[in-house]
With several copies, the nearest count.
Chain A
Amino acid sequence: MALDKIGIAKRIAQELQNNTYVNLGIGIPTLVANYVPKGISVEFQSENGILGMGPFPYENEEDADLINAGKQTITALDGAVYFDSATSFAMIRGQHVQLTVLGAMEVSENGDIANWKIPGKMVKGMGGAMDLVASAENIIVAMMHTNKKGESKILTQCSLPLTGVGCVKKVVTNLAVLEVLPQGGFKLLERAPGVSVEEIQAATEASLLVDGIIPEMSLVD
């Protein structure tokens, strides 16, 4: 069965490395914070200006001056710190944030990502995404494998305006975990529980390397 958004977030949470700083994009990536594995210390950076983001506040304890990059009210953990936007992106551009998880409209087999604009139709802007994908050592995309029309979002080449080139390292979708190979092309690493290799191949427009037996993801809480 294909994963839901929470399933994708849970699987990405397994990618978190101990003692690292992580930036989570809006949408599915934000959910990753709820599933940090036991024994793993990570600190979440929100590019609007906080390190050490905590859970949502209790009712009536919200503070309009304390939000995350998704404009949601949040709290601050012990050890948190606030900073201005220039310093925030000094952290990002200076590669002090090791992992970026973000959503995408399209990902291509050379690691390009498109997620900010549909010409003539939708222009929300790139926000911090272009800085993040240009700089983080590790970039994981969280998204549905296909769009609402059922068309693959895992492509030979992106059709939409790019957010970054050759930057995506891994893609976790509702169907699969894919690695972007250094020489280009995707490699199938894992299948969602009950999803077959053939289903994944059918939903993938890009070239997909299937090498040996592909294990199912394990998603223990």
Chain B
Amino acid sequence: MINKVVPNVQEALVGVKDGMTLMLGGFGLCGIPENSIAELVKKRTKNLTCISNNAGVDNFGLGLLLQEKQIKKMISSYVGENDEFERQMLSGELEVDLIPQGSLAERCRAGGAGIPAFYTPAGYGTEVAEGKEVREFNGKPHILESALTADFAIVKAWKGDTAGNLIFKATAKNFNPTMAMAGTITVAEVEELVPAGQLNPNEIHTPGIFVQRIFQGERFEKKIEQLTIRKK
């Protein structure tokens, strides 16, 4: 077995440098690597390109990095819950590349799977298709999209083992397994870290081969963006 454990978030993020490209798992505030984001704020790493489906909210998630102006460019599909984001984007302080959510996911998977490019119908006829090759398959126009990779992919899992195998919980899975495949170095922060052999090999979502560093997060706040409930 290849041991992937690092003692803490500081060790997990050794080598993250100004100007790097990071992928960060999560959908909204669900399943985001909170411990790593907090550490990135502390590290004051600058000029980051962040690939993440959303940009957090003003006071949590990637919003924390935006407040500190550590992000040069965001590659996302939906950024609607963040005023500071909108301000930086409309003022031109922040470069933004908005891409369809499915293309974002598939481009990350492609990056991890050694597929340099693929055709998709999503975005044909829109701004997203500008400058991209268009080709018809089965009578339907498709555009050519390229793989995305990152210097570091930073993901959050529910359980992990010392071999780097990961299990996600419910919809906190989202982009995490996909991005885990696409990092030159993939860092996983987990709620519970167990010895190899404790996870059922049939139930693992992300094989440890995709993970270079794993640690148990100190604290998971797990903020809820839209609390919706019904009465008993």
Contacts and interface: CB of A to CB of B under 8 A. Distances in A.
Interface of A: 19-21, 41-43, 45-52, 55-59, 61-74, 76-97, 112, 116-117, 120-131, 134-135, 161-166
B201 A131 contact: no
A158 to B, nearest CB: 11
B228 A56 contact: yes
Given A52-B201, A65-B172, A84-B173, A21 B126 contact: no
A137 B209 CA distance: 15
Interface residues of B, number: 83
Given A43-B1, A66-B170, A85 B105 contact: yes
Main secondary structure of the interface of B (DSSP, over half): loop
Interface in B46-90: 53, 76-81, 86, 89-90
A101 B20 CA distance: 34
B232 A94 contact: no
Interface string B153-181: 00000100111010011111111111001
Nearest to A85: B105
A115 B223 CA distance: 28
B109 A135 contact: no
A87 B168 CA distance: 14
B229 A131 contact: no
Interface in B129-171: 158, 161-163, 165, 168-171
Contacts of A62: 224, 227-229
B227 A73 contact: yes
A130 B30 contact: no
Given A56-B230, A112-B125, A125-B76, 7 more contacts: A49-B174, A64-B30, A65-B31, A79-B165, A79-B196, A130-B122, A134-B121
B127 A125 contact: no
B209 A97 contact: yes
A214 to B, nearest CB: 31
A217 B69 CA distance: 52
B90 to A, nearest CB: 7
Contacts of A96: 112, 181, 209-210
Contacts of B15: none
A94 to B, nearest CB: 4
B101 interface: yes
17 contacts: A41-B1, A41-B3, A47-B102, A51-B208, A61-B229, A65-B30, A65-B171, A85-B27, A86-B105, A93-B120, A94-B111, A96-B210, A123-B86, A125-B76, A126-B101, A127-B101, A128-B100
B26 to A, nearest CB: 10
A193 to B, nearest CB: 29
Interface in B193-228: 195-197, 201-202, 204-205, 207-210, 222-228
A71 B28 contact: yes
A109 to B, nearest CB: 15
